[in-house]
Structure 1
Amino acid sequence: MFKLFLKYASVGVINTLIHWTSFFILNEFISQGLSNVIAFSIAVTFSFFINSKFTFKSNVSLYRYLIYVIFLGVLAYVIGEIAENIAVNPFMTLLSFSLVSLIIGFLYSKYIVFKE
């Protein structure tokens, strides 16, 4: 299971780079909110397809894609709202989400999304 987690984490590093790069490029032309939604969508789509084939060696389906994207989107929103309510520095929010989504996202992917 540790080897599987390392594969998932390596995809997560690339996913984070895609998200941040997309965000900063888009933010030159559109608002932060819209930039973040689009960047998240690009990154989570990449992550889904790579994790499906590379990490979990599983078939791709619309159902799996939707439960993956919706779950991670809700997780991002909830962590952001909690951080906003307790006045956490935005950088710490980003770090917290990255850590929480890595662990919870892995378990959710392994036992729900890509369960065979």
Structure 2
Amino acid sequence: MYDPNQPYGNNPHQPPPSYGPGYPGHGQRPPGPTPDGQRTNAIVSLILNLLSLVACCNIFGIGGAILSGLALGRAHAAPERAKLLNVWSWVLFGGGLVLSIGTIIVLGVNGAFDE
């Protein structure tokens, strides 16, 4: 017979307490980079680095595209390494973009675009 005053573990017909959905081991992934997120990040970085290489003559886009390709290949095998490669590909993209904008500003101040 069920006794509501009896604590867990003393009644063999009562299940043990649940820890809820957030407890590790209940289908939850541990924190950290996911392979799908790293693949998406690498694809976006690869496209933008190649686009900056073609459209803005960003020579750093070559290195960024290479690092993005490497990150894309390592997204499932080594997600932490892929994350590091993605970060450096974005750094190269941003650095090249800053240098391109700086060059345009310097040329504009010096009158290179005047007729």
TM-score computed with the length of structure 2 as normaliser: 0.31
Structure (1/2) with the larger helix percentage: 1
Q: Relative contact order (C-alpha < 8 Å, sep 6+): which is higher?
A: 1
